[in-house]
């Protein structure tokens, strides 16, 4: 695939999927009971009516944010340099956590605003996993093809 933008979109999508797998694991084992899909859905709908449609809305919003971050990350690397994409990816994940799971939730963008330590710790770790995945995928899938 020659289109670098499409490769960055795919890297963002896969990175969100990796983060969602982590979410499923920590929810399954009872570490916390919050997922970013439900938080994203709470931006658009009342969670009193949360159903299959709510899950679809949450998935669309959540994965769209992943795509936007994947594209922004590509442009960030073009602006700064494409050295150390994994470290910069983790940084991008932390920035996403700070704004999306932190500041915006405190401003009331979603009906869900986790206040307990466990949920916030899982959101932090999940966003770091997202950033790590984004950095790795960008290094091996997006940048490698560009350098040829």
Is the overall model pTM greater than 0.85, yes or no? yes
For residue range 125-146, list pLDDT tens digits in order: 999 999 999 999 999 998 875 5
Residue 27: is its pLDDT beyond 50?
yes
For residue range 83-121, list pLDDT tens digits in order: 999 999 999 999 999 998 889 888 888 888 888 999 999
* 39 contacts: CB under 8 Å, gap ≥ 6: 58, 101, 105, 110, 112, 114
Instruction: Say what the pLDDT of residue 139 is.
Output: 94
* 111 contacts: CB under 8 Å, gap ≥ 6: 42, 43, 46, 47
Instruction: Say what the pLDDT of residue 48 is.
Output: 78
* Domain segments of the chain as ranges: 4-146
Instruction: Say what the pLDDT of residue 18 is.
Output: 97
Q: What is the token pair recorded at 82?
A: 């494409």
Instruction: Say what the pLDDT of residue 148 is.
Output: 45
Name the percent of the chain in helix, strand, coil, to the closest 5.
80, 0, 20
Instruction: Say what the pLDDT of residue 51 is.
Output: 84
Residue 30 has a CB neighbour count (10 Å cut-off) of 8
Instruction: Say what the pLDDT of residue 145 is.
Output: 57
What is d(CA 95, CA 15) in angstroms, rounded to the nearest whole number?
Answer: 15
Residue 76 has a CB neighbour count (10 Å cut-off) of 18
For residue range 37-51, list pLDDT tens digits in order: 888 988 888 877 778
Instruction: Say what the pLDDT of residue 122 is.
Output: 94
């Amino acid at each position: 695939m020659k289109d670098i933008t499409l490769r960055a979109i795919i890297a963002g999508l896969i990175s969100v999927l990796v983060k969602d797998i982590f979410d499923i694991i920590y929810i399954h084992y009872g570490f916390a009971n919050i997922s970013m899909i439900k938080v994203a859905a709470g931006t658009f709908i009342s969670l009193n009516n949360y159903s299959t449609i709510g899950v679809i809305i949450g998935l669309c919003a959540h994965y769209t944010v992943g795509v936007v971050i994947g594209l922004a990350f590509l442009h960030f690397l073009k602006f700064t340099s494409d050295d150390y994409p994994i470290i910069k990816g983790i940084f991008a994940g932390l920035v996403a956590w700070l704004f999306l799971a932190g500041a915006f939730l405190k401003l009331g963008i979603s009906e869900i605003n986790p206040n307990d330590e466990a949920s916030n710790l899982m959101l932090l770790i999940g966003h770091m996993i997202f950033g790590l995945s984004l950095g790795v995928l960008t290094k091996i899938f997006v940048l490698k093809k560009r350098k040829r």
